[in-house]
Amino acid sequence: MEKKHLLSVSLACSQGHPAKDKNNLSLLQTSHKFTNLTLLHNIFTMPDSKRNLYLLGRPFSPLYSAAMKLRSSLYGQNLFRRYKMEVPVISIGNLTMGGTGKTPIVSYLATFLQGQGYRPAIISRGYGGASGNKVNVVSDGKEIFLDAEQAGDEPRLLAETLPGIPVLTGIVRALPCRHAIHTLGCDILLLDDGFQHLAVDRDINLVLFSAESLAGNSRVFPGGDLREPVSALLRCDAFLLTGTTAGNKERADRFAALLQSRFPSKPVFFSSYTASEAKDEKGGTTIPLTTLPTPLHGFCGIARPEAFRQSLIEQGISLSGFTALRDHQPYTPRILRQIRKEAMDSGARGIITTAKDMVKLKDHSFPLPFFSLQMLTHIDDGLQSFIIERLKRLKHNRR
């Protein structure tokens, strides 16, 4: 029943059907017929490859969902070992697959905590990184040791942009957690993409949803976008809807109302991103967006490439073309030739990508001026207050 409720409401929110009362009761009682219609709409507006995967995988969703429920239960009963750290741990994760903007949120919170006098470290799995050590120190806060190929693009980006904040990776994350505490002297840990990594206990559990995609098609993998059944949200402490814009704010507000009605003890916060400037990768200097040459050819290998393209358009940047690549795309010679050819054929006067992609391209050249878009993250002040209050309570309880 719980899953069906979220399914009904999230689909209605994503299609712009407002609730008929402030408590969203009408959405929680959405008819089965309406749910099927909106589910079909979402399915048939997906990319073909994703739609086909989900249609084929749908019969297996209950099996995967049951397995994930059992796994969570075994950790909850301490039948699977959980590692408790001596310092507070904040997990930033999501229920859905794909991009919810975790990296900018991790960066924002690390900077915020550093400003509060903490010595934070970021612990990541290091997806896509070639370094297979049990503990990989991407940065100790003073020096960067691993490139993007070894560390993964997101840990390398965090290491470059967060001076004074160590970044570590490892598949068994308890090991880099302990290294950050005992060797690097960190007194608070940020667990990047940690919601499903139940082996490390956490004190604050944040779950992110993209304000654009919300809960996707609301079915559990391999039939949909969810990593776990909706009941997993009982583990979290607060929700953060990321990437809110004027275009999706109404849907995001309705989805937030749904979450509040379904999980009344868990606050919902919002965040947004704004493009601030561009970085000229040849000279390493930043320039105002208004001084960029036009038109530009854009490209990126992130979970939601359309969001990057839309950000460029919203900033008034004229695009001659755009190349969308898969998330964490390795930049092979073939891919680089493709980008160069498409940019030249489109008549572009420059090329622009994301800061995340740029960390993998520092050793490559392009025949045109090359820029990366720099973004700023804005988060409700309420989230900061929520975290500080939780940390104060934790400190008091540990005395």
All residues at 6 or more sequence positions from 86 whose CB lies less than 8 Å from its CB, including other chains: 181
Long-range CB contact pairs, 28-36, < 8 A, 24+: 28/258, 28/261, 28/262, 34/8, 35/4, 35/7, 35/8, 35/11
pTM of the prediction? 0.87
Q: How much is the pLDDT for 283?
A: 74
Whether the domain at 75-273+378-397 and the domain at 275-376 fall into the same CATH topology: yes
Q: How much is the pLDDT for 48?
A: 62
Q: Residue 320: which H helix or E strand, with range?
A: strand 319-324
Spans in the chain with pLDDT lower than 70: 1-49
Query: How many residues in total does the chain contain?
Result: 399
SS3 240: strand
Q: How much is the pLDDT for 46?
A: 53
Measured N-to-C along each axis, helices 249-262 and 2-14 cross at an angle, to the nearest 10 degrees, of 170
Evaluate whether 275 touches 247 at the Cβ level (below 8 Å): no
Pairwise CA distance, residues 262 & 97, whole Å: 21
Q: How much is the pLDDT for 190?
A: 98
| Sign (positive or negative) of CA dihedral 65, 175, 240, 314 | negative
Pairwise CA distance, residues 300 & 116, whole Å: 34
pLDDT tens sequence across 193-208: 999 999 999 999 999 9
Q: How much is the pLDDT for 51?
A: 78
Describe the chain by its helix, strand, coil percentages, rounded to 5.
40, 20, 40
List the chain domain ranges.
75-273+378-397, 275-376
Q: How much is the pLDDT for 262?
A: 95
All residues at 6 or more sequence positions from 153 whose CB lies less than 8 Å from its CB, including other chains: 128, 328, 356, 357, 359, 360
Q: Hey, how many other C-beta atoms are within 10 angstroms of the C-beta on 392?
A: 10
Q: Residue 26: which H helix or E strand, with range?
A: helix 25-28
Pairwise CA distance, residues 392 & 101, whole Å: 27
| Sign (positive or negative) of CA dihedral 14, 15, 18, 20 | negative
What type of residue is 229?
A: P
Fold (topology level) of 75-273+378-397: Rossmann fold (3.40.50)
Which residue, among 179, 175, 211, has the nearest Cα to 96 in the 3D structure? 211
**Cα radius of gyration rounded to whole Å, the chain:** 21
CATH code given to domain 275-376: 3.40.50
